[in-house]
Structure 1
Amino acid sequence: MSGTPAPGPASTVLAAGCVLWRRAPDGDGVEVCLVHRPRYDDWSFPKGKLKRDEEPLAAAVREVLEETGHHCAPGAPLPTARYLVDGRPKEVAYWAAEAAGGAFEANDEVDRLLWLAPEAARVRLTQPRDRDQLTALLATLPLT
């Protein structure tokens, strides 16, 4: 059926998340939070779909708390990720966010969490496209 248009426009899936960071415990630089989602067996930043009428920044902060157990102080907006999931366009708005206390507990969506130096996080990220947000985060932080 090549060349046959889809029945109506594919609605874009809207999501939001944060590149969560903290000052490294040894005081040397920063660490970035990555979450492991067993459903996809991937390492990524905390993110999720917007609820009806939810603002993207509010969704990003909610998703960080739900997936990591950490509160956060959102900062600079980061590049929006745009890609296809099962043929549907998806847009994920991201913000830099400093961790502001909390504790991780494994849940249905996220079974592991890592705090990594930026270079280690860059290697661990499953999707190469996520490196754009990491690069943008580092450019916004005077500490690195």
Structure 2
Amino acid sequence: MKQSAGLLMYRRAADGTPEVLLGHPGGPLWRSRDDGAWTVPKGGYEAPEEALAAAVREFTEETGHVPSPPYLPLGEVRQKSGKRVQAWACEGDLDPGALASIAFEMEWPPRSGRMQSFPELDRIGWFTLAQAREKLLPAQTALLDRLAVALSTADGQR
């Protein structure tokens, strides 16, 4: 079973409303998809690499930005494909225009024999939790709920 790890970066808008940073997958298979296609920046890992270390590495590779601790555990979700995704939240503020994603190669068009390079994420953006619920892959929306609970608990302790 494939396992993946990722970071859900969040910030607070001027009115205190939380916003999250999501990434849109690059490549021709995702080009025309929007709602239900965005993702938490994440990627696969294998032992002995630890999940949190993989999440930080993948976030950095896919956005070009090095996140800062603390990292708040959001648990695991299982995607439709069966892939397990462990996620953490971290606070930060990243300019979507500064995206610098690594690339992957795939044969495109199919059976053409031509390899083409595409960015892992072709764009990133900030969304309110309600907007993010529409944009995210359905299996990852539970991470938004867990973040909202964690932030409201933290707000109550201030």
TM-score tier, shorter chain, comes to 0.7 to 0.9
Distance 2:49 2:7 in 1: 16
Deviations 1:38-87 (A, max 9, x none): 235221111100155210000001111111222222422113112453xx
Alignment of 1:45-56 (within 5 A): 45-56=40-51
How far apart are residue 34 of structure 1 and its match? 0.7
Q: Does 1:31 align with 2:19?
A: yes
| Separation in structure 2 between the aligned mates of residue 143 and residue 122 of structure 1, nearest angstrom | 22
1:29-108 matched pairs, under 5 angstroms: 29-39=17-27, 40-41=29-30, 42-72=37-67, 73-83=69-79, 85=81, 89-99=82-92, 103-107=98-102, 108=119
Task: Report the 3-state secondary structure (helix = DSSP H, G, I; strand = E; otherwise coil) of the residue aligned with 1:22.
Answer: strand
Change (3 A) 1:70 1:143: farther
Q: 1:84 to 1:30 in 2, by over 3 A?
A: closer
Shift of 1:131: 0.8
- Partners of 2:94 and 2:139 lie apart in 1 by 28
- Indicate how the Cα distance of structure 1 residues 84 and 31 shifts in structure 2: closer, same or farther if over 3 A, else same: closer
- Higher deviation after alignment, 60-69 or 131-140: 60-69
- State the secondary structure of the residue aligned to 1:62: helix
CA contact (8 A) 1:70 1:99 kept: no
Structure number having the greater strand percentage: 1
Partners of 1:38 and 1:136 in 2: CA distance: 27
Secondary structure of 2:88's counterpart equals: strand
Residues 83-111 of structure 1: CA deviation (Å, up to 9, x unaligned):
453xxx42111111112667422541011
Q: How large is the RMSD of aligned CA atoms in angstroms?
A: 2.3
TM-score by length of 2: 0.70
| TM-score calculated relative to the size of structure 1 | 0.76
**AA of the residue aligned to 1:20:** M
Distance 1:74 1:91 in 2: 23
Runs of 5+ unmatched residues, structure 1: 1-11
SS in 1 for 2:16: coil
Secondary structure of 1:130's counterpart equals helix
